[in-house]
Amino acid sequence: MSLESIILKLGEGLRPVITKVVPMKLLSRMKASVVNKASANVAAEGFLPYEPKSFPYGVNLVGNIKGDNGLGQSARIAAKLLKTGDVPYVIRDFFVPPGGSRTNTEYASEVINEDGKNGGKVSQDQMPYGINLIDVNASEFTLAYMNMGKEMWDRHYNIGFWAWEVEDFPEEWLPAFNLVDEVWTPSEFVSNVLRKYTDKPVMTVPHCIELKTDSNCDRKYFGLPEDKFLFMVSFSSGSVMERKNPLAAIKAFKEAFLLNSKESLENVSSDGVGNIIDSQIREAIKEGTVLGGKKSGYNGVGLVIKISEPELSEKDADILASILTPEEQENVYIIKGTSGKEEMNSLVECVDAYVSLHRAEGFGLVMGEAMYLGTPCIATNWSGNVEFMNPSVACMVDAKLIELDRDLDPFKKGYKWADANVSTAAAYMKKLVYDKDYYDRIKKGAYEYARTHLAYENVAKKVKGRLDEISKE
């Protein structure tokens, strides 16, 4: 076994040590090295074709079921879809170190690999069904195959659930297609990208949303002011910060509320977004009276920046703060640390608006969750999120596509992603703060749309229908 393989298998218990001793870029390169070396062997080895009559009907679900990040939530959504559709299933927990924090226990009692760690072996009897649904992205899919073993692939129908964010797919991930019979994705945006690279079936299975909050996790709990209209932006230091683009949200907030009023209004006019800030709103801006928001009586505005997994990149908070003067930082509240799911939901619920000026999203789960919680969103009008967002339920910020001028692993130089218009976002911030009717309309529309269109029942029927078809092939 190579040194890279040994380090990757050290497991969850050593994660804090690994991330401090081994730089994230080096870990990524080591993981890529293991995947690339194994992919050629896997492709040559092959596996036996699907035999539906050899197994009972049901799904062996594989994924980072305890993960606190989006991948973990994706696996839990898949589990709930199967449960909602009355599809028999078992869950095998799988993650690749460092893998992000793993504290979610929603499905802990259903996990079949006892230690819950990468390398926890299970028998064929524990994964009895004929369909494998592997909620592991293409970048790590070969590692899942190596971990589970060829016997778990042979004679099974193997579905990969993959997310991706831009219109080009990394060449080094293409061998993962050799390991699947079919791919599911959370959006048509992702599905259309993958269809360019394979003739195998690709089906869109949108993420569904049903959330719980904790009434104890209010503004006081988070150390946030009660008397301010609060915007929020969030990202994880375990992912590519440039993709989430929190700097743009900070710049928009600065333009909207920290520049002097005359300069800010001139920026709005020059960027052609005067229709957002009409004459009535201009008067409210001059008076400085906050009218929008979840509560009345606000006397100011603030920006909440939530950084999950800050230990993975201690520089991120400093980078964000560097574009604000000490005086400007007085109304900016940085919350560092990974939250449990209900705690994070509660934070999104207790702010007045969520901002995502992302470069690209495969789906945009936190935006959908904000809508479900009745928190209006200001969002880039490009990529996966546009499939559940429109101007009736969100503040959609136009963007132009730009080329990356350097590699940002896994995104390559020359790939294209969005550059949201900061002045338009700033105008929408003002609109939400100073136009109560508009705020209430977006809030209500988002809440109702998310609870109807992002519900589990219809998607569960689609999933069960496809699984029924596969089992009869």
- Separation CA 367–CA 76 (nearest Å): 18
Q: Both 131 and 251 in a single domain?
A: no
The number of distinct structural domains making up the chain is 2
- Separation CA 271–CA 273 (nearest Å): 6
Q: Domain holding 59: CATH number?
A: 3.40.50.11930
Q: Where does residue 54 rank: exposed (0-12), middle (13-18), buried (19+ CB within 10 A)? A: exposed
Q: Both 126 and 107 in a single domain?
A: yes
pLDDT of residue 323: 83
Q: Both 345 and 441 in a single domain?
A: yes
397 pLDDT exceeds 60?
Answer: yes
Alpha helices in 65-130 (DSSP H): 70-84
Q: What percent of the chain has pLDDT over 70?
A: 85
30 pLDDT exceeds 80?
Answer: no
Report the 10 Å Cβ neighbour count for 428: 27
Q: Both 287 and 381 in a single domain?
A: yes
Half-sphere exposure of 348 (CA within 13 A, CB side): 29
- Residue 422 placed within a domain: yes
- Residue 467 placed within a domain: yes
- Separation CA 131–CA 234 (nearest Å): 36
pLDDT of residue 33: 65
Residue type, 455: A
89-98, 212-221, 290-299, 462-471: segment of lowest average pLDDT:
89-98
- Residue 214 placed within a domain: no
How much is the average pLDDT of 417-436?
A: 97
Q: Please answer whether residues 231 and 301 qualify as being in contact, where contact means their C-beta atoms are separated by less than 8 angstroms.
A: yes
Residue type, 74: S
Q: Both 179 and 247 in a single domain?
A: no
- Residue 25 placed within a domain: yes
Copy the structure tokens of residue 288: 């400085």
Q: Domain holding 236: CATH number?
A: 3.40.50.2000
Give, for 193, the enclosing helix (H) or strand (E). helix 188-195
CA end-to-end span of the chain, whole Å?
39
Copy the structure tokens of residue 291: 């009218």
How much is the average pLDDT of 85-91?
A: 98
11-20, 172-181, 374-383: segment of lowest average pLDDT:
11-20
Residue burial 228-263, b: 16+ Cβ < 10 Å; e: rest: bbbbbbbbbbbbbbbbbbbbbbbbbbbbbbbeeeee
- Separation CA 270–CA 189 (nearest Å): 32
How much is the average pLDDT of 457-463?
A: 98
Query: Can you give the length of the chain in residues?
Result: 473
How much is the average pLDDT of 342-366?
A: 98
Q: Both 311 and 241 in a single domain?
A: yes
313 pLDDT exceeds 70?
Answer: no
Angle 70-84/456-471 helices, nearest 10 degrees?
70
Q: Please answer whether residues 397 and 380 qualify as being in contact, where contact means their C-beta atoms are separated by less than 8 angstroms.
A: yes
Q: What angle do CA 258, 217, 345 make, to 5 degrees?
A: 75
Long-range Cβ contacts of 406-411 (<8 Å, 24+ apart)? 408/240, 408/242, 408/243, 409/25, 409/28, 409/240, 410/139, 410/170, 411/165, 411/166, 411/240, 411/243
- Separation CA 422–CA 246 (nearest Å): 11
183 pLDDT exceeds 80?
Answer: yes
Q: Which residue, among 75, 361, 416, has the nearest Cα to 234 in the 3D structure? A: 361
Q: Both 170 and 279 in a single domain?
A: no
Range of the domain at 467: 3-208+456-471
Q: What angle do CA 308, 311, 316 make, to 5 degrees?
A: 70
DSSP code of residue 254: I
Q: Both 92 and 154 in a single domain?
A: yes
Q: Both 237 and 353 in a single domain?
A: yes
Q: Both 89 and 177 in a single domain?
A: yes
Give, for 132, the enclosing helix (H) or strand (E). strand 131-135
Q: Please answer whether residues 430 and 269 qualify as being in contact, where contact means their C-beta atoms are separated by less than 8 angstroms.
A: no
Q: Both 199 and 257 in a single domain?
A: no
pLDDT of residue 125: 84
The mean of the pLDDT values for the chain is 88
How much is the average pLDDT of 39-51?
A: 79
Copy the structure tokens of residue 73: 């939530």
Give, for 241, the enclosing helix (H) or strand (E). helix 241-244
How much is the average pLDDT of 343-352?
A: 98
pTM, two decimal places: 0.90
- Residue 286 placed within a domain: yes
pLDDT of residue 2: 42
Which residues partner with 52 through β-bridges?
none
Copy the structure tokens of residue 319: 């980078």
Q: Both 228 and 187 in a single domain?
A: no
96-110, 234-248, 402-416, 446-460: segment of lowest average pLDDT:
96-110
